[in-house]
Amino acid sequence: MELTGLLQMAPFRGMKEEELVAFLFGLPNSLKHFEPGDIIARQGDLCKGLYILASGSVRAGMINDEGKELTVEEIGAPNLLASAFIFATENRFPVNVEAIGPCEVFVIGKERFLEFMRLHPLMMQNFLKDISDRSVFLSRKLNEFALLNLKTRLLKYLETHSVIHNQQKVA
């Protein structure tokens, strides 16, 4: 596994490689492997700590009672999963997280993560900035979904993606 990419992630910028190794591989952390189609987390599961997508890619999505799916985002490594929900009062995954390809995910317990941030204030600042940026992203997504008319949404999609490959993905 390549740690250089992880050191470029927002929470770990400015850290030394040995600090990151100590953080990731210390007990009781775990590194989990997933194959395409495996469910990493289900919507409603408790978010027990920091989930770091170290390799591969995942799809974050929601499914309603009738089976209708909505892809919220496809996330490639390295990246954090559901980082804004770790310390929430209701700390549950808001989406299903499914492996698109082979993946490796570090799971760092909440208490270990808190302690590490206390010892590394730069990491804490970086993490807070990252979850704030995610809040901005989600606010924009909500605006596109709820407040824009269909024509404007379609134009925004085409500005971003330039081509429509899959009607369901666009919907």
Beta-carbon contacts of 151 under 8 Å, excluding residues fewer than 6 positions away, are: none
What domain count does the chain have? Answer: 1
Range of the domain at 86: 3-170
CB of 9 closer than 8 Å to CB of 80: yes
3-state secondary structure 90-147: CCECCCEEEECCCEEEEEEEHHHHHHHHHHCHHHHHHHHHHHHHHHHHHHHHHHHHHH
Q: What is the CATH number of the domain that holds 87?
A: 2.60.120.10
- Provide the residue-wise pLDDT of the chain in tens; the chain has 171 residues: 567 889 999 899 999 999 999 899 887 889 999 999 999 999 999 999 999 999 999 999 998 888 888 888 899 999 999 998 999 999 999 999 999 999 999 999 999 999 999 999 999 999 999 999 988 987 887 777 676 677 777 787 788 777 777 776 666
Q: Tell me, what's the pLDDT at 72?
A: 84
Q: Tell me, what's the pLDDT at 73?
A: 87
Q: Tell me, what's the pLDDT at 141?
A: 76
